[in-house]
Amino acid sequence: MTLDWNHRPVLVTGATGLVGSWLVGALLDLGAQPVCLVRDTVPAARFFTSGLSSRSVVCRGDVQDQAAVERVLGEYEVRTVFHLAAQTIVPIANRNPISTFETNIKGTWTVLEACRRSPMVSQVVVASSDKAYGQQDHLPYTEETPLQGRAPYDVSKSCTDLISRSYAETWSLPLAITRCGNFFGGGDLNFNRLVPGVIRDLIEDRRPVIRSDGTSIRDYLYVEDGASAYIATAETIDGSAERVGRAYNFSIGLPLSVLEMVDRITQAVGVSLPPLVQGTATNEIPAQYLDATRARTELGWAPVVGLDAGLERTVDWYRTLLGARA
């Protein structure tokens, strides 16, 4: 490690989300002091139910409120910022593009402008996505692949990425950008996502419902591996001016079709029921997967838990949540 995390004030936006809660837990394990900007109270969110909120500084506010972000950065002498807050559900982005654009795009420039005006901030990690690349003819995506999102959610992540690079290059804001595939793990309460939805259906003895036609190919990344990716990214910014504004892909390196992922989930749950393939999903890119060579060589990052062990941990979490017998 290049950072001394002990007692370090660290702002996490999006702490109540899937990856945010696991990142907060990892930071606490390192001895850091998480400061979490929270807009909505979701009682069932892992951030609250696992006791993470009681071990963190919780500030009420919205990432679109620059004065609120600057107050938090200043009053808690924040040194490192992880900007994860976003509207992440593709169907919601299709139905409500304006709220998605406001949170994902305006929220990004607001947080970055507050960081630019806060002299104690020395690392900023911005969570982009593989969706920022949009649909491409050549796969896997590398960090040099053009950003060309077209659907609302994809566009919001392309803009997040470009705005971040602008702040790094124009004002030398010490930031780096993460681009990850589809996260999965305990704590995801959006059951219209593939992994938690299929797990819940199988645990409750129902045929899992698949919105797409099942052929789309995606990268999947377990949340604890994702949290380690964010931390590794923050550590590379410290004292490494040549890496400011750099983007990193993070991937297990095992692209799977939706139906192949359903098979993996079925094995982890131990209940086999044929899926109901609806084929109703819109604005879905046929294939998206990442080349994580840069993260492995420059950051020394590699997934520790991986896909199948991650699915086993995830299934155990949902069995506990749903009160099901193992």
pLDDT > 70 fraction of the chain, expressed in percent and rounded: 97
- Flag whether pLDDT at 1 surpasses 60: no
pLDDT on residue 283: 67
pLDDT on residue 326: 43
Nearest to 210 by CA among 262, 282, 271: 262
* Residue 53 one-letter amino acid: S
- Flag whether pLDDT at 37 surpasses 80: yes
Q: Read off the pLDDT of residues 67-103 as tens digits, 9 standing for 90 and up.
A: 999 999 999 999 999 999 999 888 889 999 999 999 9
Q: Which residues fall within 8 angstroms of residue 264, CB to CB, at 6 or more apart?
A: 256, 307, 308, 311
153 is catalytic: yes
Nearest to 292 by CA among 182, 181, 133, 163: 181
Q: What is the pTM of this model?
A: 0.95
Among residues 76, 133, 141, 153, which one is catalytic?
153
Domains (range + CATH), the chain: 9-184+221-253+288-305 (3.40.50.720)
Mean pLDDT in residue range 115-125: 96
Q: Read off the pLDDT of residues 165-194 as tens digits, 9 standing for 90 and up.
A: 999 999 999 999 999 999 999 999 999 899
Residue 183 tokens, joined:
């996260």
Q: Which residues fall within 8 angstroms of residue 97, CB to CB, at 6 or more apart?
A: 152
pLDDT on residue 325: 42
Residue 208 tokens, joined:
């899992």
